[in-house]
Structure 1
Amino acid sequence: MTLDGRHFEDLFGRSRLSLGKLISCAAVNSETREEVAIKKIGNAFDNRIDAKRTLREIKLLRHMDHENVIAIKDIIRPPLKEDFNDVYIVYELMDTDLHQIIRSNQSLTDDHCRVVLQYFLYQVLRGLKYVHSANVLHRDLKPNNLLLNANCDLKIGDFGLARATSETDFMTEYVVTRWYRAPELLLNCSEYTAAIDIWSVGCILGEIMTRQPLFPGKDYVHQLRLITEVCYLRSPEKLPKSSSDGLLLVAPLL
């Protein structure tokens, strides 16, 4: 495919993912031979909220430079302003995400895998520390948004719901996928802190250890009930099976 005068070849065997108006694919730049990921956002400006999220993600990632945060390589624009309906964002290419690792048949119980998973957690917290130090909340941390390559390098991706804490606009509570959403968001609190991201990390860690979502709520009420039973009524039997050491590690994050 040719975009803005540049030719990209689809990488053989790489999957193409379509999520509504979002289409992501792996490609290689024919000139530089660099492998990249291209995300197409179709009709990006038809909806004000979607347009704002797209521009916010581009703005934030353009100013970030960290080993554990996904990097934007380029923004591909059409030759004519009148044709600017779709947005193509070029990212560095990663091989998979944490969700795929958790759902795979790979054993996660041997000593080698434990070390690798600890390394994943270290990288998540390292990248999140950088994001928070820039006064930015990610607001949508989940296994699908933690990208990995063959070297076990992890990068935080998908900043579509992220925002700077210095912004004066009303902060919506409708952020973060429900299973990873902190109690204050479930209770419609519009004033929250970076703690909502730390909560999500705790949920992700629990999911890594048990290979099941920690709080798989069916709706808001069920989600709050699951959280209350585990965190406030101290009923560890409600958790999926895990070691006591693992539970001690997850608890401070929740």
Structure 2
Amino acid sequence: MQPDQHQQRRKGSSEMDFFSEYGDANRYKIQEVIGKGSYGVVCSAIDQHTGDKVAIKKIHNIFEHLSDAARILREIKLLRLLRHPDIVEIRHIMLPPSRRDFKDIYVVFELMDTDLHQVIKANDDLTKEHHQFFLYQMLRALKYIHTANVYHRDLKPKNILANANCKLKICDFGLARVAFNDTPTTVFQDYVATRWYRAPELCGSFFTKYSPAIDIWSIGCIFAEILTGKPLFPGKNVVHQLDLMTDLLGTPSLDTVSRIRNEKARRYLSSMRKKQPVCFSERFPKADPAALKLMQRLLAFDPKDRPTAEER
């Protein structure tokens, strides 16, 4: 057998392994594996109907854990409704021929080159124009999401996809929630977003209620990371996280502390030695003054002091 024939046969068998018995499988030509996780595997592929490059996420044994199934269903439903240039697009969902065989699900997304985490890691020469364009896209996406009464709840560099032309798109809505009115929503117990980008009111579920300001805080943390190349608050635990926040922002006012419902948190912050806020221009000496002014507002300790995405 010729080497290229052997390669083609091996590639064909890998496509069969990836797609199992799914009827739509012949529409997509698998290219390579681009990601793996506890949920399954992601491959890049060519849509042979359109010629477009796509990413196909295979989620195996979807009903093995109902909490995972609920998260996946939530993400699919939201992404089918949230259509915006700054949000990753679902192109197609592949289901099995019969419900009896329903174990795996395939979700086809537009293909992006990388994510913001990798962009920050690989580029130490991002310009002010990059900073502005990245922040503009993130806040524009957030304005659209919040206008739909949705909170993302897990914004971090790895959940923001990127292309070589600096286009950003928010992804991973598995933890997102919908609020059906304008009142702050009771805190969700299953909130497990990455600690480093979590707003102070979510550290230990400090506030009994919160608003879309949680996403605004995350954008502030991400923007600081874009400016410096390093995470702003890489806390090892909740207490360390609060220590890092107050080291930069100073201790919160008595008024802010008094409205914190969690007694242990209130006690910890009340007994903390008085810290003065650090001047942002000293902490971020190379940053544009206008950018720092905005970042300071995004990172207000009290959620009511943060701007909305529209006010930015």
Could you say whether these structures have the same fold, taking a TM-score greater than 0.5 normalized by the shorter chain as the test?
Answer: yes
The question of whether the paired residues in 2 share the 8 Å contact of 1:9 and 1:29 is answered with yes
- Aligned residue number for residue 159 of structure 1: 173
Secondary structure at the residue paired with 1:24?
strand
- Aligned residue number for residue 6 of structure 1: 25
Q: Is 1:253 matched up with 2:292?
A: no
Name the CA distance, whole Å, in 2 between partners of 1:15 and 1:103: 22
Shift of 1:67: 0.7
218-227 or 143-152, which deviates more: 143-152
Which structure 2 segments of 5+ residues have no match? 1-14, 251-274, 300-312
Q: If the length of structure 2 is used for normalisation, what is the TM-score?
A: 0.74
Shift of 1:241: 4.7
Q: 1:184-212 CA distances to partner (integer Å, 9 max, x unpaired)?
A: 10031342110000000000000001100
Q: Is 1:235 matched up with 2:275?
A: no
* Aligned CA distance change for structure 1 residues 22 and 53 (closer, same or farther; 3 Å): same
The question of whether the paired residues in 2 share the 8 Å contact of 1:173 and 1:186 is answered with no
Secondary structure at the residue paired with 1:175?
coil
Secondary structure at the residue paired with 2:120?
helix
Q: Is 1:194 matched up with 2:212?
A: yes
Q: Is 1:183 matched up with 2:200?
A: yes
- Aligned residue number for residue 220 of structure 1: 238
- Aligned residue number for residue 36 of structure 1: 54
Higher helix share: 2
> Aligned partner of 1:4: which letter?
G
Highest CA radius of gyration, 1 or 2? 2
Q: Out of 100, 103, 112, which is 2:121 matched to?
A: 103
Q: 1:209-243 CA distances to partner (integer Å, 9 max, x unpaired)?
A: 11000000011110111111111231359x86543
Q: Which runs of 4+ in 1 moved over 4 A?
A: 167-170
> Aligned partner of 1:148: which letter?
A
Q: Is 1:124 matched up with 2:138?
A: yes
> Aligned partner of 1:248: which letter?
K
Q: If the length of structure 1 is used for normalisation, what is the TM-score?
A: 0.90
Shift of 1:249: 3.2
Name the CA distance, whole Å, in 2 between partners of 1:170 and 1:88: 31
The question of whether the paired residues in 1 share the 8 Å contact of 2:124 and 2:229 is answered with no
Shift of 1:170: 6.5
CA RMSD of aligned residues (A): 2.1
Secondary structure at the residue paired with 1:28?
strand
The question of whether the paired residues in 1 share the 8 Å contact of 2:225 and 2:231 is answered with yes
> Aligned partner of 1:249: which letter?
L
Query: What number of residue pairs does the alignment pair up?
Result: 247
The question of whether the paired residues in 1 share the 8 Å contact of 2:186 and 2:208 is answered with no
Name the CA distance, whole Å, in 1 between partners of 2:77 and 2:208: 23
Secondary structure at the residue paired with 2:247?
helix
* Aligned CA distance change for structure 1 residues 28 and 187 (closer, same or farther; 3 Å): same
Q: Out of 18, 22, 37, which is 2:40 matched to?
A: 22
Shift of 1:169: 8.4
- Aligned residue number for residue 267 of structure 2: none
* Aligned CA distance change for structure 1 residues 51 and 209 (closer, same or farther; 3 Å): same
Task: Tell me the percent identity.
Answer: 49
Secondary structure at the residue paired with 2:75?
helix
* Aligned CA distance change for structure 1 residues 190 and 18 (closer, same or farther; 3 Å): farther
Q: Out of 122, 141, 144, which is 2:155 matched to?
A: 141
Q: 1:151-181 CA distances to partner (integer Å, 9 max, x unpaired)?
A: 2221111101001012988722623210000
The question of whether the paired residues in 2 share the 8 Å contact of 1:172 and 1:190 is answered with no
- Aligned residue number for residue 221 of structure 2: 203
> Aligned partner of 1:94: which letter?
M
Q: 1:81-121 CA distances to partner (integer Å, 9 max, x unpaired)?
A: 1111112111111111110110004522xxxx321221111
164-173 or 83-92, which deviates more: 164-173
Shift of 1:18: 0.8
The question of whether the paired residues in 2 share the 8 Å contact of 1:44 and 1:87 is answered with yes
Shift of 1:53: 0.7
> Aligned partner of 1:153: which letter?
K
